[in-house]
Chains A and B, each alone.
Chain A
Amino acid sequence: MGARAFRKRLVPNLLLLPLAAWLFCFALIPMAYGLWLSLHNAFIENLSQPTWAGLANYTYLFNDPAWARSLGWSLRFAVISVTAQMVVGVAIAQFFNRAMPGKGLWTTLLLIPMVVSAALIGTMFRLLFNEFVGPIQYLLNPITKGGALLGPNLVNLTIIVADCINSIPFVFINIYAALQSVSQELLEAAMVDGASAWQRFWHITMPLILPIAAVTWLMRLLAAFLIFELVFTLTSGGPGNMTQSASVYIYRRAFSRSDFGMANAASFTLGMLLLGPALVVVRRMMRPAR
């Protein structure tokens, strides 16, 4: 009996072991090691014997205007871009929530930018927005009055639009799924009572899709704040370091200057900043699994 009861408790944990081991070896240990490295002067030459630096990397970081600018840029970008994505995404979902000819095909076509790698989208736009040979730059010339899409004046707007193309499909498909669960009878009853389309949306649809919209919004906000691939391939943080997002700042610290102590200090700071909001999303995501 004793052995049986023991096995009964052992098996559930054994099943968890492979995943837990993976998390432990390739996420937890590296992060702890990163924290340790952040307290050292660690360059590619002395990686085997980094020298103790105490909190020097952190004090330097908090006084580095470039890091503050990167965080500020990421925050502004995330708020503006994700707000636009939510508004347009909800509008498209609401628009698609009706019968129309060829709907399956249109949906697929709208979803393409979401399934293609952000790195490829960035590389692609780098060509299409190019000042000299970019066909889209040429098409938009009348609107931009010859201004370069990737030049200092327009580059921020260009990145926002590129991120919108890449990410609105995600908002659209989430909200569209949420809309499917809104009861048609309820909407029709409201219509009979004389509620206008706006009233129906604000007072019936909106409250019902709010839980999914909120998680979608938070997930997008976190991802946009951490944006790397799209910026890295589209502008590499330039012109100058105008569009250097927090992630690009860390990447450059590590791989252009091989300053791994600093890069890890910035990494750890960034992780701490995001832990709170990330835990909120995790709790929400775990609810259906309970």
Chain B
Amino acid sequence: MNPKSRPQRLLRSVAILTIVAILVIFFDLGMFTNFLTAFKSDRDISSLPPKWIFRPVWTHFYNVFKGAGYAFDRYLTNSVIIGLGATALAILITLPAAYSIVRFRGLGNWVLGGTLLLRLMPAISLAIPIFVIFYKLKLVDTQLAIIIMHTLFLSPTALLLLIGYVQELPRELEDAAAIDGASVLQMLRHILFPIIRPGLAAVAILSFITSWNEFLFAVILSQRKAITATVGTSFFIQSYAVKWGDMAAGITVSTIPTLIFIFLAQRQLIKGMTAGAVKE
């Protein structure tokens, strides 16, 4: 309220930016240091004090993809296939449900409650019996097994978001279509689907990232063939001599899709991650 002089305002800006800088360092120092480590030669990694300026090398990225038998390119392929498959399936099963819950209620509330409960209950409690069942069905170490469980894992958030989008739709449009004699399925395809498409993109981005990041089901349901990038990265620890540089390179590669999306589609991503706690 009280008018401030210019130096005072300047001082205030400097103070604010200092606090911001401290926060950014606290939250991102890890990511940044890890990024540097990925480009350090083995000798620079183990040098004390740690070097902040050094000659970058690509050895670790080369190792991760070509050398040392990590098959990281296969892990990445698995992550992409599982991510796309689970995202498509999750949208396919939650979109009709979201429509039904908003427009018709009835049994829908039970399905909604059950789905949301799933999001909060211990994932490990489900993972143990799932492993036994899939082990008996000989589905362990297949992409299909992980896709099935990721679909389940993605549906609570997808459902919640899609319900929000369906609620925004004007009912009049559907009523008009109903008078013209369109069936519910036709309505979904020709009216609901086109309008909701931007929302679907947001759900798809979030779902893909969530699947990409998921660890528990991916680690339990994979042994060799179906390993994802997020799981594969943790393998660098288990060897006798830890390959720190390769590990850092693996982490850097595995975080690239997430980082791309947080910069390009931050609004959609945040909306999805806060769905439930924050209502529109």
Chain A contact residues, CB within 8 Å of chain B: 11-13, 15-16, 18-20, 22-23, 26-27, 30-31, 33-34, 37, 42, 47-48, 92, 95, 98, 100-101, 106-121, 123-128, 130, 132-133, 135-136, 138-139, 165, 168-170, 173-174, 177-178, 191-192, 212, 215-216, 219, 222, 226, 228-229, 232-233, 246-247, 250-251, 254-255, 260, 263-264, 267-268, 270-271, 274-275, 278-279, 281-282, 285-289
Contact = CB atoms under 8 A, between A and B. Distances in A.
B187 to A, nearest CB: 10
Question: Among B133, B237, B247, which residue has the most Cβ atoms of chain A within 10 A?
Answer: B133
B142 interface: no
Contact of B106 (A13, A233, A278, A279): A13
A136 B29 contact: yes
Contact of B100 (A15, A121, A226): A15
**How would you classify the secondary structure of chain B's contact residues: helix, strand, loop or mixed?**
helix
Interface stretch (B63-71, B108-116, B169-177, B195-203): B108-116
A27 B118 contact: yes
A288 B280 contact: yes
B123 A100 contact: no
Of A47, A117, A119, A275, the most chain B CB neighbours within 10 A belong to: A117
B132 A18 contact: no
B196 to A, nearest CB: 14
A126 to B, nearest CB: 6
Contacts of B27: 109-110, 112-113, 165, 168-169
Contacts of A128: 30, 33-34, 37
A11 to B, nearest CB: 5
Contacts of B100: 12-13, 15-16
A19 B94 contact: yes
Contact of B215 (A109, A229, A285, A289): A229
A111 B262 contact: yes
B276 interface: yes
A255 B120 contact: no
Given A27-B114, A222-B120, 6 more contacts: A18-B93, A100-B20, A117-B213, A136-B33, A168-B27, A226-B122
Contacts of A115: 209, 213, 258-259, 261-262, 269, 273
Contacts of B102: 289
Question: A-B pairs with the 6 shortest C-beta distances?
Answer: A117-B213, A34-B129, A12-B104, A119-B215, A267-B125, A15-B100
Interface string B244-280: 1001100100110011011100100110011011111
Given A33-B129, A120-B233, A174-B274, A219 B120 contact: yes
B96 A228 contact: no
B117 interface: yes
Contact of B132 (A23, A37, A178, A191): A37
A100 B26 contact: no
A111 B262 CA distance: 8
B61 interface: no
A263 B111 CA distance: 28
A274 B121 contact: yes
A31 B108 contact: no
Contacts of A170: 273-274
B182 interface: no
A107 B263 CA distance: 11
A22 B279 CA distance: 26
Interface residues of B, number: 107
A165 B30 contact: yes
A286 B112 contact: yes
B130 A101 contact: no
B278 A18 contact: no
B255 A120 contact: yes
Contact of A286 (B16, B109, B133, B247): B109
Given A117-B254, A174-B274, A281 B213 contact: no
Contacts of A127: 34, 37, 242, 244, 247-248
Contacts of B213: 115-120
B70 to A, nearest CB: 14
A159 B231 CA distance: 20
Contact of B28 (A34, A112, A267): A112
A13 B107 contact: yes
21 contacts: A12-B100, A15-B96, A16-B107, A19-B96, A22-B152, A23-B111, A23-B152, A27-B152, A30-B130, A108-B263, A113-B31, A115-B258, A115-B269, A123-B236, A267-B122, A267-B124, A274-B120, A279-B117, A281-B116, A286-B116, A288-B280
B136 A48 contact: yes
